[in-house]
Amino acid sequence: MNTSERQPLVLAIETSCDETAVSIARGTNEILCSEIASQIAIHKPYGGVVPELASRNHNLAIQPVIAAALENGGVSLSQLDAVAATAGPGLASSLLIGDTTGKALALGLGKPFYSINHIEGHLLSPFIGDDNGIREGIALVVSGGHTLIVKINAVDDYEVLGSTKDDAAGEAFDKVAKMLDLPYPGGPEIDKLAREGDPAAFDLPRSMIDSGDFQFSFSGLKTAVFYLLQKLPEALSETDLKNVCASFQQAVIDVLIAKTIAAAKQTGSKLVAVSGGVSCNSQLRRDITSACEKAGLELAIATPHHSTDNAAMIAFTAAARIEAGISPSLLNTDVNPNLKLAAD
């Protein structure tokens, strides 16, 4: 038997928000499959996620998505060594579907169950497929619910250096997109329009860029966009729309990057790891790449497929915890909509 065959087969379920996702990992070496049933079309008419619709649709999708993962991963249920599910943060009614299904599966198979923190999933996702493994560094986690700067010391040893005082970066993208009448989710729409806009067209605030800490605030920027829109003609021209998107996007990116690089310098870290839905943003990817090059820092950035919510990051995190010798979770571990990564 070679080393890879001795790695545990872990099936993980992610249902924290509006994606029903299942993945199977072979240890931290390999992701065998990563299935996602997206509910975007279901929630689009409402301009955001409707919790009850989300949980009911998880309930409908979970069995077929598990079946697809087993088939595409070429794995049978009896081969699994462990089962994992996201325990939080997220919508309680959505989390419960994945959590309960995962526990039932683990119980039925007589295998250990791992409750996984969704933020830890994002945090470690830049290391998926990285031959050098999970290592020390400064992480920027930017999603619809979170904006965090974290010092990674080792698996399960994290220090939160800063977070947002109000809106998460992705939330700011989504709210500004709503003001601009763009479809949900707004981040990718702003990203697309900004490609043809001028990021210097409008002078928008880089909130807290000089605060000397690693805290963020995006609500002032959102308000600044609101007042900017009052001054522009109500029916925005195509050029104005693209320029507002580019200027807003650049204001968010400038603060995210300045603080991440400052955190790496202050802690003497050599690596920057970037993850979460907003790390799909094409301008952020370009700017963080050049900022890290300039500062002599190694950059690990989650692939776009592993940036937005997925179960591969949950399977990878569970496998990393198993490798680190961390005990399985008790089957009466509750889900926690406000689960924290570490004391912050």
Binding site for Zn ion (CB under 5 A): 143, 309
Pairing of strands 137-142, 271-275: parallel
CB 178 within 8 A of CB 171: no
Cβ neighbours of 230 (radius 10 Å):
7
Note the residue count of the chain.
344
| Distance of closest approach, residue 292 Cβ to ligand KG4, in angstroms | 19
Q: Residues with Cβ < 8 Å from 115, sequence gap 6 or more?
A: 84, 85, 87, 99, 329, 333
Q: Beta partners for 142?
A: 147
Nearest CB to ligand KG4, comparing residues 7 and 307: 307
Residue 20's binding partner among Zn ion, ligand KG4, none (Cβ under 5 to 8 angstroms by kind) is none
- Tokens 């994606």 belong to 19
Q: Tokens representing 299?
A: 């950059």
Shorter beta-carbon distance to ligand KG4: residue 126 or 145: 145
- Determine the angle formed by the axes of helices 238-267 and 282-295, rounding to 10 degrees: 30
Q: 114, 127, 158, 173: which one contacts ligand KG4 (CB under 6 A)?
A: 173
Cα–Cα distance between 309 and 58 in angstroms, integer? 14
Q: Which of 145, 197, 199, 328 binds ligand KG4 (CB under 6 A)?
A: 145
| Residue at 77: amino acid letter | L
Torsion (CA) 44, 49, 53, 57 in degrees, nearest 10: 80
Using CA atoms, how far apart are residues 313 and 128, in angstroms rounded to an integer?
A: 8
Taking residue 52's Cβ as centre, other Cβ atoms within 10 Å add up to: 10
**Binding of ligand KG4 at residue 309 (CB under 6 A)?**
yes
244 close to 111: Cβ distance less than 8 angstroms: no
Q: Which stretch binds ligand KG4 (CB under 6 A): 217-225, 270-278, 290-298, 333-341?
A: 270-278
Q: Rule CB under 6 A: is residue 137 a binding residue for ligand KG4?
A: no
Stretch that binds ligand KG4, among 34-42, 80-88, 166-174, 211-219 (CB under 6 A): 166-174
Residues facing residue 162 across a β-bridge: 149
Is residue 253 within 8 Å of 281, Cβ to Cβ?
A: yes
According to CB under 6 A, which one of 27, 73, 162, 186 is a site residue for ligand KG4?
A: 186
Q: Is 308 in the site for ligand KG4 (CB under 6 A)?
A: yes
Does the footprint of ligand KG4 cover residue 281 (CB under 6 A)?
Answer: yes
Interface pick for ligand KG4 out of 140, 280, 313, 339 (rule CB under 6 A) = 280
From the list ligand KG4, Zn ion, none, partner contacted by residue 102 (C-beta under 5 to 8 A by kind): none
User: Do the beta carbons of residue 262 and residue 251 sit within 8 Å?
Assistant: no
User: Are 39 and 20 contacting, i.e. CB atoms less than 8 angstroms apart?
Assistant: yes
Among residues 278, 297, 299, 312, the one that binds ligand KG4 under rule CB under 6 A = 278
- Give 208 or 314: the residue with its C-beta nearer to Zn ion: 314
Question: Quick one: which of 99, 120, 167, 174 contacts ligand KG4 (CB under 6 A)?
Answer: 174
List beta partners, residue 12: 23, 84
Asked if residue 143 binds ligand KG4 (CB under 6 A), the reply is: yes
Put residue 106 in one of left, alpha, beta given phi > 0 → left and psi -120 to 50 → alpha.
Answer: alpha
Q: Does 121 bind ligand KG4 (CB under 6 A)?
A: no
Binder of residue 308, out of ligand KG4, Zn ion, none (CB less than 5 to 8 A by kind):
ligand KG4
Question: Minimum distance between the CB of residue 143 and Zn ion, rounded to whole angstroms?
Answer: 4
Task: Give how many residues touch ligand KG4 by CB under 6 A.
Answer: 19
Residue 80 or 335: the one with the smaller Cβ distance to ligand KG4 is 335
Q: Which of 55, 191, 317, 321 binds ligand KG4 (CB under 6 A)?
A: 191
Helix (H) or strand (E) holding 112: none
Choose between 98 and 277: whose C-beta lies nearer to ligand KG4: 277
Binding of ligand KG4 at residue 199 (CB under 6 A)? no
Residues that bind ligand KG4 (CB under 6 A): 17, 143-145, 170, 173-174, 185-188, 191, 276-278, 280-281, 308-309
